Chains A and B, each alone.
Chain A
Amino acid sequence: MASEPTVAAPPKPKRPAKATRPPSWKLRPRGLLHSVFFTIERVVKEVLFGCQMCGQCILHNCGYVCPMRCPKHLRNGPCGGYDARGHCEVYPERPCAWVRIYRWSGHLRKMGEYREYRQPLDHGLWGTASWYNLIVTRTIDLHGHTYRKLPPEE
């Protein structure tokens, strides 16, 4: 291998504590109706709840705290990684999303919903509007259950 001049690597910048959406988020479908739903939903939910637009919203089941703010995208409860303050071990300046969900579910008397099992994410729905998926295409239900299936073989 030819020797190359060694250059000291630049110091790594401190990571901003915000990136949780996967890149596929940007490839959302086009279409006027979807764009209308998307814009309204995003403005309302992102401002109020820090919505990550996963497309299979379970906010109402999670004490109105978005579980997709968790860097591990957990859907069924916290990992073992929250510290004594209830902060995330990955981003220590932020509270653990699931500890917040637990506390708010308690305040709002939604512990029954907290205890519900939630199925795996359909990663193809990132960047789509949940309300559109619920009402128009009917690919999700109110418990985050997704109905996307492979198209039938011709």
Chain B
Amino acid sequence: MALQEALASGKFVITSELGPPKGVDMAPLVADAVLCRGRVDAFAVTDNQSSVMKMDPLVACLRLMEAGLPPILQITCRDRNRLALQSMLLSAANLGLRDIVCLTGDHVLLGDDQEAMPVFDIDSVHLLEAVQGLMAGHDMADNELEGEPPEFFVGCVASPGSIPMEPQVLKLEKKVAAGAQFVLTQAIYDMDVLAQFMQAVRHIAVPIIGGFVVLKSARMAHHMNKHTAGVTVPDHLIDELDACTDRDERREKAIEIAARLVKGIKGLCRGVHIMSLGWDRHIPAILDAAGL
């Protein structure tokens, strides 16, 4: 709801990403996120991100709502079959969660428990269709729902840095045809590549929110380059982080780089999605430095 209103108002939307804990205590996460209240329009809550087992995003979203922080529920196809996915959507609607993002999800072989079963009963396009079906009052097998149908503001994900880029564009067309109303992108650092992507998708009339992961150190950037497909951190950013000698200087540099990325994305997209990976308390500083 908050995201839908923010996009409808025409302003440059700022979203951030929170990962639920690998435990039962939401308090530290909520405490960090509260520092961003009023600066960030909505907080996306990840679903066992990178196939690492975490608390269910549904409950994490509920705790954020209780703290007055508008959440966006992320749902992946990795862990749940179509019955459980639709159950989760109905539960989300009951809790008052309207903003959701549907994505495929990383495979379990990329996570910390590689013996789990990768479900992938349906893919993200089917999940988007299932959301439309629920909103029309029936489930995936055309059975009628009881009572009032739920309402959602549903989004999807695209990866602008993938090479070749065209399959991403074609899949985005399918996702939008299946009902996606906004797009969050995978982390992108090269503004030329993002501009190319925005040009390639200009015929797709949904708001696109450009995303990036806050680069905390050169080591992290190298790790992302090596292990995260579709994400390339340019060398000049790694060199800037390498040049820092102590932790404080590196943190300042990280905030400065993040601010530059926010400004770059502002020139191209309808919003920015800051994946802070635990650095939520620094988001106000990043936004200050970016002039937002």
Give the interface of A toward B (CB within 8 A).
Answer: 12, 15, 71-84, 86, 89-91, 98-99, 102, 114-115, 117, 119-121, 123, 150
Q: How far is the CA of A72 from the CA of B106 in the complex (A)?
A: 9
B170 at the interface (CB under 8 A from A): yes
A80/B186 in contact, CB under 8 A = yes
A115 CB contact (under 8 Å) in B164, B170, B178, B229: B170
Q: Which one of A81, A91, A117, A119 lies within 8 Å of B106 (CB-CB)? A: A81
Residue pairs across A and B with CB atoms within 8 Å: the count is: 91
Residues of B near A12 (CB, < 8 A) are: 114
- Closest chain B CB from A43 CB (angstroms): 27
CA distance A77 to B169 in the complex (A): 10
Residue of A at shortest CB range from B127?
A120
Most chain A CB neighbours (cut-off 10 Å) among B78, B162, B178: B162
1/0 per position for B198-234, CB-CB distance to A under 8 A? Answer: 0000000000000000000000000000000110100
**Chain B positions within 8 Å of A102 at CB level:** 164, 166-167, 170
**Complex contact B174–A117 (CB within 8 A):** yes
| Chain B contact residues: helix, strand, loop or mixed | loop
Q: How far is it, in angstroms, between the C-alpha of A43 and the C-alpha of B247 when the chains are bound? A: 61
Q: State whether B171 touches A84 (Cβ < 8 A).
A: no
56-82 of chain B: CB within 8 A of chain A? 77-78, 82
**Interface residue count on the B side (C-beta < 8 Å):** 37
Q: Are A80 and B170 in contact (CB under 8 A)?
A: no
Stretch at the interface among B2-10, B20-28, B116-124, B237-245: B116-124
B290 interface residue (CB < 8 Å to A):
no
Complex-state Cα separation, A114 to B167, whole angstroms: 10
Q: How far is the CA of A123 from the CA of B122 in the complex (A)?
A: 10
Partner of A90 from the list B109, B166, B171 (CB cut-off 8 Å) is B109
Q: A71-B118, A102-B166 are known contacts. Are A78 and B107 too (CB-CB below 8 A)?
A: no
- CB neighbours of A77 from chain B (8 A): 125, 167, 170-171, 174
A120 to B140, CA, bound (A): 10
Q: Any chain A CB within 8 A of the CB of B292?
A: no
Which chain B residues (74-124) contact chain A, with CB distance < 8 Å?
Answer: 77-78, 82, 104, 106-107, 109-110, 114, 118, 120-123
The closest CB in chain B to the CB of A123 belongs to B121
Q: Which residues of B contact A78 (CB under 8 A)?
A: 162, 167-168, 171
In the complex the two chains form, what is the Cα distance from A121 to B166 in whole Å? 25
Q: Mark B165-192, 1 if CB is under 8 A from A, else 0.
A: 0111011011001100000001000000
Q: Which residues from B are CB-within-8-Å of A115?
A: 170, 173-174
Interface pair A83/B229, CB less than 8 Å apart: yes
**Does the CB pair B104–A120 fall under 8 Å?**
no
Complex: how many Å from CA A65 to CA B225?
A: 29
